[in-house]
Structure 1
Amino acid sequence: MDQTHARALEALQPFVHLANSNSATSPRYVANIITNATSNPHTYVFAELLETETVQALASPDTPAEYQGYLKLLQIFAWGTWQEYQATPNLPKLSSEQTLKLRLLSLLSLAATAESLTYPALTNVLSFSSTAELESLVTTAVYENLISARLSPATTPPNVNVTAVAPLRDVQPQSLPNMISLLTEWETRCGEVVSDLEAEIERVKSNASARHAKEQAYQKRLEEAIEQRKATGNSSNNTFSGGPSWGKQSSFGRQAPGRWGSGGGLGGNKREADDIDRDDGFWESGEGDDSGSRMDLDEGPASRGGNAVRTSV
């Protein structure tokens, strides 16, 4: 609840208790309660006081004529305006405090219907004789936290720009059916908006789920392709990892070239391999003379003349 409204309700409670007390039996006493309640600077709502039996009893034909107008006066303070007070005959005369209060309440009703109020319109509606009186009333309303507004006297026409209004006017009973209808229509629109939002949320969730499933399928295919590529690479490495096999061990501690494997090379021609074994100038260890392997080396040009000198190694 708004703090200003809560303070106004709290300020009204003493008058409600007086109206419900056993001493509130005479119209004069009840009229005095209404006068004090409407004059109090902190009371701005009056519906609870209006609902008391003693106040409603003022509408009885047995009530003296001088006090019958107090019920209507309290109703005007609850939801009426200054213009309504002036247009209604046989109402009690207002004190200065009541006059200020009713004008402030009328300003609240006017501010609730329009954001910009011109000086000429407000001066006419509130029966002011000068703009200074109007500006004083607006300033009081601002300091009492009844409205948030800015005076603009230099504009054409000069106006009061209202930005916020305190919820301090009571609701007239006759307006309740219309308010209920408006609220019901608003509730229906809110329900439609909520349904649209829920449908949109489900659509977004469905799209997100489909997108997630698509990403998972793509990731799975990618991992399968990587595994297949690795398997193909390992198979290729195994095919070429053999290389040439080497033949007999020479007397120098190294292997002499022998036959190649199935990949080709010298192993494909047996005659060439035999020639290499026969003409390489080496003997295997344990064959020939006891000195082991040896090789005859030509001594250069002397071998061309036919009388080659051979040196045994």
Structure 2
Amino acid sequence: MDQTHTRAMEALQPFIHLANSNSATSPKFVANLITNATSSPNTYVFAELLEIQMVQALRSTDTPAEYQGYLTLLEIFSWGTWQDYQATPNLPPLNEKQTLKLRLLSLLSLSAAIKPLTYQMLMDALSITAPSELESLVTTAIYSSLITARLSPATSPPTVNVTSVAPLRDVKPQSLTTMISILTQWETRCGDVISDIEAEIAKIRTNSAKRRAKEHAQMALFEKTLSNWGPEGSESRLAGPKNPGWHGGMRGGAGGFVGNKREFSSDDFDDGYWDNGTENAYDTLVAGSRMDIDEGAGSSRMGPAGAGARHAKRFLGKKY
């Protein structure tokens, strides 16, 4: 419980004790009790005093007219405002302490309901004519821990910036139905939000489970495929069948050899071609292909040097 509210409850206890222990039940005694309770500087809540049977007895038609207004006055101090007091006829007059107390309580209600609070609006609501008087009232409320506020007289318009209000006003019984309705609507909205959150959580969990199942199926398929690539069949699968016309150096085709000439080896030519061929086979081959192979500068096919070169080339690839 707020400390300010606790102090206000403690300040009211002597008056409650006096109302319960005193055998006098006359309307005059109850009226004096209400006047003293509302004039006390530290009393700001009065609901417990209102619930006492002796106080409620003032509502009886047998109560003298001069005391009937004290119960209404106590109700205004509990949850009403200065404007309620001004608008209600046949109420007892207020002394100076009661006037200050009711204005302070009205300031609490206005601060909780209206923002921003301008000087002019507060002066009209509290029947104050001078800005200095309003500033004195607000300062008293601040030092009494009723509100946390800052005065801004230089702004246009001048305002009172309230940041917090002490929970010192009693709840009007007629407003309980409205409060219950508001709280019920708030509870319903909270339930709808919780339901939406739970549905979203369930959706996320379902999608996550589907995703994990899909990943598991893909991993199982991958492992099954990988297991089929055993040691026995891996070479054949990777290499594949050799094509007789493959460029790796196999014999075949109309030319007698297929592949890159730079990958030749001496074994590929060990077929007696150079030994059993005609004397002019090399010349015929060269003349037919129009290629000069390994001829140095100044060499000639017809001269002795050229004949020697041809002779050397005839033994190319020959194994000894």
* 1:119–1:160 Cα contact (<8 Å) kept: yes
Which AA in structure 1 matches 2:6? A
Q: Offset of 1:233 from its aligned partner?
A: 8.8
Specify whether residues 191 and 87 from structure 1 end up closer, same or farther in structure 2 by C-alpha distance, changes over 3 A only.
Answer: same
Q: Is the alpha carbon distance of 1:142 and 1:214 closer, same or farther for their aligned partners in structure 2, counting shifts above 3 Å?
A: farther
Aligned 1:1-313 pairs, distance under 5 A: 1-224=1-224, 231-232=230-231
Which letter maps to 1:119? Y
1:126-163 Cα shifts (integer Å, max 9, x gaps): 11121111112112222222222222111111111222
Report the TM-score, using the length of structure 2 for normalisation. 0.67
CA separation in 1, counterparts of 2:234 and 2:156?
93
CA RMSD of the aligned region, Å?
2.4
Q: Identity over the aligned pairs, expressed in percent? A: 67
Deviation at 1:226, TM superposition (A): 5.6
Gaps of 5+ in 1: 237-313
Maintained 8 Å contact 1:24/1:54: no
Residue 27 to residue 152, structure 1, CA distance change in 2 (3 Å): same
How far apart, CA to CA, are the structure 2 residues paired with 1:26 and 1:122? 39
Mark the CA change 1:198 to 1:6 in structure 2 (over 3 Å): closer, same or farther: farther
Q: What is aligned with 2:281?
A: none
| Structure 2 segments unaligned to the other structure (5+ residues) | 236-320
TM-score, L = length of structure 1: 0.68
**Alignment size in residue pairs:** 236
Q: CA deviation at 1:221?
A: 4.4
Letter in 1 for 2:27: P
Q: CA deviation at 1:220?
A: 4.2
Q: Secondary structure at the match of 1:129?
A: coil
What CA distance in whole angstroms lies between the structure 2 residues aligned with 1:143 and 1:114? 21
Of stretches 113-122 and 138-147 in structure 1, the one that deviates more from structure 2 is 138-147
Summarize the Cα distance change of 1:225–1:142 in structure 2 as closer, same or farther, 3 Å threshold.
farther
Q: Distance in 2 between matches of 1:123 and 1:147?
A: 17
Partner of 2:243: none
- Other-structure match for 2:241: none
